[in-house]
Amino acid sequence: MTKRGGEKLPLFFSTYITDFLYLQSECNYMAKNKDIHFEISERKVLLRILDIVMVFLGLYLLEQFFDFNYLTLHQEHGVALVVLAFYLTILGTVFEIYDLQKSSTLDVTFRNVVLTASTVVLIYMLTPFFTPFLPDKRIEIVYFYSSIIVMVFLWRVVYVTFITKPRFYKKVLLVGEISNIESIIKPLKQADPNYKIVGFINCEQEHEAPIKFRGLKEFQPHELLSVINEQNISEILVAAYNSETITNEIYGNLMMLLESGFTIREYTQVYEEITHRVPIQFVGKDFYKYFPFSRSHQNKLYQLFHRSFDLIFSTVGLLFGVAMLPIILIGNLIANRGPLFYVQERVGKNGAVFNIVKLRSMIVNAESSGEAKWAQKNDSRVTPFGRFLRRSRIDEIPQFVNVLKGEMSVIGPRPERPYFVNELSQIIPFYEMRHVIKPGLTGWAQIKSRYGSSVDDSLTKLQYDLYYIKHCSFFMDVNILVKTLSAVLYYRGQ
Q: Any bridge partners for residue 356, and if so which? A: 344
Name which of 116, 109, 108 is nearest 89 in CA terms. 116
Name which of 313, 321, 340, 490 is nearest 412 in CA terms. 313
- Give yes or no for a contact between 283 and 268, defined as CB atoms under 8 angstroms apart: yes
Question: pTM surpassing 0.85?
Answer: no
Q: Where are the domains of the chain?
A: 40-163, 169-275, 295-362+378-489
Q: Alpha-carbon distance 448 to 439, whole Å? A: 16
Q: Alpha-carbon distance 268 to 109, whole Å? A: 32
Q: Alpha-carbon distance 355 to 348, whole Å? A: 10
Q: What is the pLDDT along the chain (494 residues), one digit of tens a residue?
A: 444 444 443 444 444 444 444 444 444 444 444 555 566 677 888 999 999 999 999 999 999 999 888 888 888 888 999 999 999 999 998 888 988 878 888 988 999 999 999 999 999 988 888 888 888 888 999 999 999 999 999 999 999 888 777 667 788 998 887 766 777 788 888 888 788 888 888 877 665 445 555 667 888 888 888 888 888 888 888 887 766 677 788 888 888 888 888 888 888 888 888 888 888 777 665 666 666 666 667 788 888 999 999 999 999 999 999 999 999 999 888 888 888 888 999 999 999 999 999 998 888 776 666 566 666 666 678 888 888 888 888 889 999 999 999 999 999 999 999 988 998 888 888 888 889 899 999 999 988 887 666 778 888 899 999 999 988 888 889 889 988 888 787 766 55
Q: Alpha-carbon distance 33 to 69, whole Å? A: 49
What DSSP character marks residue 363? Answer: -
What CATH superfamily classification does 169-275 receive? GTPase HflX, N-terminal domain (3.40.50.11060)
Beta-strand (E) ranges in 191-333? Answer: 195-202, 218-219, 235-239, 264-266
Specify the pLDDT at position 222: 84
CA 485, 488, 492, 494 dihedral sign is positive
Q: How many CB atoms lie within 10 A of CB 166?
A: 9
Specify the pLDDT at position 11: 40
Specify the pLDDT at position 293: 65
Name which of 42, 152, 166 is nearest 97 in CA terms. 152
β-bridge pairing 440-442 and 409-411: parallel
Q: Alpha-carbon distance 458 to 452, whole Å? A: 6
Outline where 436-473 has alpha helix (H). Answer: 444-448, 455-471
Cα separation values, 344 from 37, 257, 372, 403, Å: 50, 57, 11, 15
Burial of 79 (0-12, 13-18, 19+ CB in 10 A): exposed
Per DSSP, the three-state class of 362 is strand
Specify the pLDDT at position 38: 60
Q: Alpha-carbon distance 22 to 15, whole Å? A: 11
